[in-house]
Amino acid sequence: MSKILGVGIAGLGTVGEGFLNQLKNFKSNSKSEPNIKIIQIAVKNIKKKRSFNVKNLPITSNTIQLSSNKDIDVIIELIGGSSGIAYQLVKKALLNKKHVITANKALMAMHGNELSKIAEKNKVSLNYEAAIAGGVPIVKAVRESLRFNKISKIYGILNGTCNYVLTKMAKEKKGFKEVLKDAQNKGFAELDPRLDIQGIDAAHKISLLSSIAFNIAIDFKNTYIEGITKIDPSDFIFAKELGYSIKLLAVAAKNKKEIEQRVHPCFVRQNSVISKVDNELNAIIVKDKVIGKNIFEGPGAGSGPTAASVMSDLMDVLRGTYNLPLGSSIFKKKKLKIKRMSDIQFSYYLRILANDKSGVMAQIAKVLSSRKISIESIIQKPSIKKKYAEIILITHKTKESTLTSALKRIKGLSVVKSSVKFIRIEDLL
């Protein structure tokens, strides 16, 4: 690397703009550190109106060309999307022995194994601090500091949009669609919010953390994913009454040779750390056998936080800090099986709409007891629908396959109306 570190930026949205702002303040730390020079900035539409003057910037619309520009040492990919131009650019840049910094979790989750192989072979950096939990330096913490501690579980709130929506639903007792619309108006949700509210974005992120923490290849496609679209206001009321909050958790866990990788709404105890992480905040908890528990919390998105993480990745490249993309060699990663959800044990919140007459509870209890599912608490309330009662149950731990078979049977009872709703309870001890 010369005394000038040549930077190519692809994408100039809010993060790109935030990053350019921060770069202005950069001063080289010492004589041994190179200076930074922006060689090219690739944008889709050069003529697009922007909040700042691009006249004096080396703008181009030929994105892919950045990957072969000889003056560029580092490509900063801020385009987004798991395929298309972002993928082509990053792959070609790595093949051409350029360092890559990306904020693109979808790309890393889908192609991270392949891209890591190229980066590792060519001894260039592939850094993606901004891809997970925005401004929280969790990639560095897990990849460099905590990985040696035999991590057993890494979990948390990794999607700010979902957390914002769930927090508002809980506090304002409004329905999902209304709150989502409000979040979109306020800029806390995308116009196309599907990646977020369906849990896919959080799954991208947890599959990356799981790969680093457990020394396995990235396995996004076997991650269990369930979004937040089916939670409704009454669930928050019952949750509160029972001492819980509802959060969308992303969880990766390892027990001997079995991996859990899952994203779904959870009941979490009100006195847990996670329960108090509200609005657009993110939080990650890392449990391991040496330290115990480390908690990281901060803003999961936004121009400033994301750009700050890009900047931190760039500083690592500048200082010559090299880390393997996934913490350990991709060529030595273990193949471990991801456990099926049906084989995992949870406690459950069940919500059953039934006829409001005597003997109903007895019938339901009988089905559960026949499968050895024991009950921790019960709430029964008249439903807003006349002649019906809402029965809320918290079960003790049982295998998910046992539960689903019981629920099928309960649904078949003539006194029970509609299907039974369940939400898993995450044991955060």
Which residues contribute to the site for a copy of itself (CB under 8 A)? Answer: 18, 22, 25-26, 29-30, 32, 120, 123, 129, 134-137, 140-141, 144-146, 148-150, 273, 276, 288, 290-299, 304-305, 307-309, 311-312, 315-316, 319-324, 328-329, 332
Instruction: Choose the catalytic residue: 205, 247, 254, 421.
Output: 205
Torsion angle in degrees (nearest 10) through CA of 358, 362, 363, 365: 150
Q: How far is the CB of 9 from a copy of itself (least distance, A)?
A: 17
Residue 233 vs 298, nearer CB to a copy of itself:
298
- Shortest distance, position 291 Cβ to a copy of itself, whole Å: 4
In this complex, which beta carbon is closest to a copy of itself, that of residue 26 or of residue 52?
Answer: 26
Query: 338: which strand partners?
Result: 259
Q: Taking the complex as a whole, how short is the minimal distance between the CB of residue 130 and a copy of itself, in angstroms?
A: 11
Q: What is the Cα–Cα distance from 429 to 413, expressed in whole angstroms?
A: 36
CA distances from 311 to 12, 33, 305, 317 (A): 15, 15, 10, 10
229/188 Cα distance (integer angstroms): 16
CB closer to a copy of itself, 31 vs 70? 31
CB closer to a copy of itself, 47 vs 289: 289
Contact assessment for residue 349 and residue 423, using Cβ atoms and an 8 Å cutoff: yes
- Please say if 339 is a catalytic residue: no
Pick the closer one to a copy of itself by CB: 332 or 386: 332
**What distance in Å separates the CA atoms of residue 343 and residue 350, rounded to the nearest whole number?**
19
- Provide the 8-state DSSP code for 276: G
Q: Helix (H, G, I), strand (E, B), or coil: what is residue 314?
A: helix
* Least Å from the CB of residue 83 to a copy of itself: 29
In sequence order, which ranges of 122-193 are alpha helices (DSSP H)?
138-140, 160-172, 176-185
- Calculate the alpha carbon distances from 409 to 7, 19, 377 in Å: 61, 56, 20
In the complex, the smallest distance separating the C-beta of residue 277 from a copy of itself, rounded to whole angstroms, is 9
Residues annotated as catalytic are 205
